[in-house]
Amino acid sequence: MKIRKMYAFTLGLLIVAFLFPSPSSASAPSTEMKLFKNPVVGDGADPWVVKHTDGYYYYMQTTGNNLTIRKSKTLTGLDDAEKKVVWTPDSGAENSGNIWAPELHFLDGRWYIYFAAGDGNMGKQRMYVLESEGSDPLGKYSYPKGTKLGKISDPSDKWAIDGTVFEYKNKRYFVWSGWEGDENVSQQIYIAPMKNPWTISGERVELSRPELPWEKNGTPLINEGPEILKNKQGDVFIVYSASGSWTDDYCLGMLKLTGKDPLKAGDWAKNPEPVFKSSPADNVYGPGHNSIVKSPDGKEDWIVYHAAKFKGAGWNRNVRIQEFTWKADGTPNFGTPLPADTMLRAPSGEDGGKLVPALPGKVYSYEAENGVVNHATIVNNTSASGGSKVGMIDYNDSFVEFKVDAAPGDYTLKVRYSNGMGETSTHVLALNGKSLGEAAYPSYGWDTWRDAEQEVHLNAGENKIKLSKGTLFAEIDRIDLVPKKTKVFQYEAELGYLKNAKVVNEYDAANHQAVGLMSAHNSSVRFPISVEKSGTYEMNIRYKQPKGINAVQVLHVNGKKSLILYKGEGSDKWKETAVKVKLKKGKNDISFSKSRGAVDLDYFTLNQTK
C-alpha cells in the first residue's frame, strides 16, 4: 500500500485563496486578500524584529543558550523562515547561561546584538553586546574591542536585562530593566547615555518602577522589556512590560518623553493605565514584551508580542502580531489583543489582493474530547476549541475515533493538532477501518494549534475516522470536514472595507470579530467578491440588533439598491435574515450602508439558487 502523507497547513502564513478557492478561481487568477492566523511563531518569548533596507525582516527571541536570527520577507512567515545560529557562548563563561531577550540593531554601519546572560546563577544576569564583522546580519559576530566578553554596564554594575538602544537629537541612549540593589525585590526601568554602541558613558537614571496596581501582580515586582516607539511628530515613548511575566496579568505600560532631556526622570510621564492587556473575554492572557515594526510597504504599524498560550500557562508562550493605529493626540492605540485563531488581513505589502475571500459556508466540526478516546487523556485547556484537547496518545492502543454524520462525498479533512517534539510526529489515519497512511504533524510547539490536511471520501451513512499512535507524540483538538464541492460561501464582515464603522471583538461571532458602530452617518462596509457563475443567489446575513428598535440598511449590489429590514427584538444573540441578489460572473461589488438604526454584522453567505 502506498503511504499517503498529510501535509501541514501553515497557519502562520494562511493563504485562504489557495486553501479555500473562491467560486471564480477556475476562470480567473485569484486576487483575494491574503489572510493569516496568530501565532506567527509557535513557541517563543521576548520577540524582537527589525526591518532592514534590504527588504527583509530579521527576527530574534529568547532561546536560553544561543543567539539565533531568522530572515523573512514577510511578518507572517517568521515560523518557517531561514534561521541561523550566529553565536554560541563558551562553556562555563560568565555569559554562557540564561541568554534572554536578544535585540539586533544596525548602528554606524555594523550590526550589534544586545542580550542578557549570566553563568546560570540568576543573580548574575548582566547585559552583553556582540558586533558584526561585516554588514551581513547573518554573518560572523565577535566581542567589541576593549570589552570583557562584550559586557556593557553602567558604573553601578547591578543586575540587568532587556537592554535596548535609541537615538534622540543626535545622542544615543541605553535603556534596560534592572535591580536597584543586589536583592530580587523589584525591577525598574533605567536609562544611561552611550559613548558608542558598546560603552555606557554615565550614571544610570531610574525612569519607572512598579507603583500602580496593574504593575504589581506577582512578586518580585516587575517593570521590564522597555522598547522605543516614535510617532510621525517625533514624540518618544517607552513601551514596557509590567507585572510578573508568569502571571495572566502581564501587560504593557507606557512612558512618554514630555520634556527635553531623556536623562531626567521628571521629563517622562507614565500612562496611568496599561496600553495593552489581557482580554479574558477573548481568551488572551499575558500579552507583553513587544517590538514595533512597519509592514513590508511601510504603510502600516504592527506590534509583535508574546502571550500565554492559555489561561494559567505561565511561561508557555507564543509570538503574535497585530496592526495598531494612532490616536488624535499622537499616542499609539494598540487596541485589544485578538484570539489566536482569528483570521486577519496580512500586513500591507505582503500581497496585492483586494477581493474579500470566499470561505467555506459549510464545515463539519467534531471535537476530539467528544469522540471515542481510548488509552489517552482528555485535558481542559483554554487554547483548544471547546475548552478541551486529547493528549497522551502515547501507547500502541491509544486512539481517538470520530463518528461522522456528514453527507456522502469528497472532503478535505483537517486535523487540528499540536506538536512540541521539535521534529515531525505522526498519527495513523484510518477511515472506516481502512488505513490512509500517516497524518504528519510538523512541530510548532505544544498548545500552538496547526492544521494538517488529507483528502477523504465519505460513504453514505455513518463514517468513522480514527487517529492512532504513530511516531513520536502529538495532541488533537478537533477535526474539520470541508466539502470539496461546496456551493455555499461565507464572507466575514470584518474583512470588508469599512467606512465610519469599526471592527469589534465578539468571541461568539464567527472568526471572533464583527462589524459594529454602523449607526454613524454614512457608515458602510463594502465587499468586492468574485463568483464563477452569473445568476440569482440567496444571501443569508448573520446580524445582531440588541437595542430593540427596527433597523434598516441599504444593500448595494453592483450599484443597484434595495432595503433590508432587521427586526429589533432587543436580543444580544445573533440572528439571520435572507434576501435574493443577482450577481454577474466575475467581480461583483456588494455593500451595506446605514439607513436607519444600528446593526452589527457578523458575516453573510451566498448560495446560488438559479
Judged against a pLDDT cut of 90, whether residue 121 lies above it is answered with no
Give the helix/strand (H/E) hosting 599. Answer: none
- The reported pLDDT for the residue numbered 13 is 33
The 3-state DSSP class for residue 440 equals strand
- The reported pLDDT for the residue numbered 385 is 93
Reported as a single tens digit per residue, the pLDDT across 272-298 is 999 999 999 999 999 999 999 999 999
Judged against a pLDDT cut of 60, whether residue 16 lies above it is answered with no
Contact 73, 58 (CB under 8 A): no
Judged against a pLDDT cut of 70, whether residue 417 lies above it is answered with yes
Percent of the chain surpassing pLDDT 70? 95
- The reported pLDDT for the residue numbered 533 is 94
Judged against a pLDDT cut of 60, whether residue 27 lies above it is answered with no
> Please, which pLDDT band fits residue 610 given cuts at 50, 70 and 90?
confident
Reported as a single tens digit per residue, the pLDDT across 147-160 is 999 999 999 999 99
> Please, which pLDDT band fits residue 113 given cuts at 50, 70 and 90?
very high
- The reported pLDDT for the residue numbered 31 is 87
- The reported pLDDT for the residue numbered 139 is 97
> Please, which pLDDT band fits residue 351 given cuts at 50, 70 and 90?
confident
Contact 246, 276 (CB under 8 A): no
Q: Which of 32, 46, 249, 350 is catalytic?
A: 46
Residue indicated by cell numbers 477573548: 282
46 assigned to active site? yes
Contact 124, 94 (CB under 8 A): yes
- The 10 Å Cβ neighbour count of residue 149 is 16
Q: What share of the chain is helix, strand, coil (3-state, %, to 5)?
A: 5, 50, 45
- The reported pLDDT for the residue numbered 545 is 83
User: What's the rounded mean pLDDT across residues 518-543?
Assistant: 93
Q: For residue 190, what are the contacts with CB-CB under 8 A and spacing of at least 6?
A: 154, 160, 175, 176, 177, 178, 204, 205, 206, 207
Closest CA to 254 of 268, 275, 235, 233: 275
User: What's the rounded mean pLDDT across residues 349-374?
Assistant: 95
Domains 35-345 and 361-483 share a fold: no
Reported as a single tens digit per residue, the pLDDT across 68-78 is 999 999 999 99
Judged against a pLDDT cut of 50, whether residue 5 lies above it is answered with no
The domains of the chain are located at 35-345, 361-483, 488-608
- Write the single-letter amino acid at 134: G
CATH homologous superfamily for the domain 35-345:
Glycosyl hydrolase domain; family 43 (2.115.10.20)
> Please, which pLDDT band fits residue 26 given cuts at 50, 70 and 90?
very low
More confident residue, 566 or 251: 251
Reported as a single tens digit per residue, the pLDDT across 315-343 is 999 999 999 999 999 999 999 999 999 99
> Please, which pLDDT band fits residue 19 given cuts at 50, 70 and 90?
very low
Distance set, CA 478 to CA 351, 364, 459 (Å): 31, 11, 21
Judged against a pLDDT cut of 70, whether residue 571 lies above it is answered with yes
Q: How far apart are CA 189 and CA 101, in angstroms?
A: 15
Phi, psi of 141 (to 5 degrees): -130, 150
Least confident of 172-186, 200-214, 458-472, 536-550: 536-550
- Write the single-letter amino acid at 428: V
- The reported pLDDT for the residue numbered 380 is 96
Going along 547-599, which residue ranges are E strands? 551-557, 560-566, 575-583, 586-596
Going along 337-444, which residue ranges are E strands? 343-345, 359-360, 364-367, 372-374, 377-380, 388-391, 399-404, 409-419, 425-431, 434-441
Q: Which of 224, 227, 367, 438 is catalytic?
A: 224
- The reported pLDDT for the residue numbered 75 is 98
**CATH classification code of 488-608:** 2.60.120.260
What is the 8-class DSSP label of residue 41?
B
Q: If phi over 0 gives left and psi between -120 and 50 gives alpha, with beta otherwise, what is residue 157? A: left
Reported as a single tens digit per residue, the pLDDT across 378-399 is 999 999 999 999 999 999 999 9
Reported as a single tens digit per residue, the pLDDT across 140-149 is 999 999 999 9
Judged against a pLDDT cut of 50, whether residue 587 lies above it is answered with yes
- The reported pLDDT for the residue numbered 30 is 54
CATH homologous superfamily for the domain 361-483:
Galactose-binding domain-like (2.60.120.260)
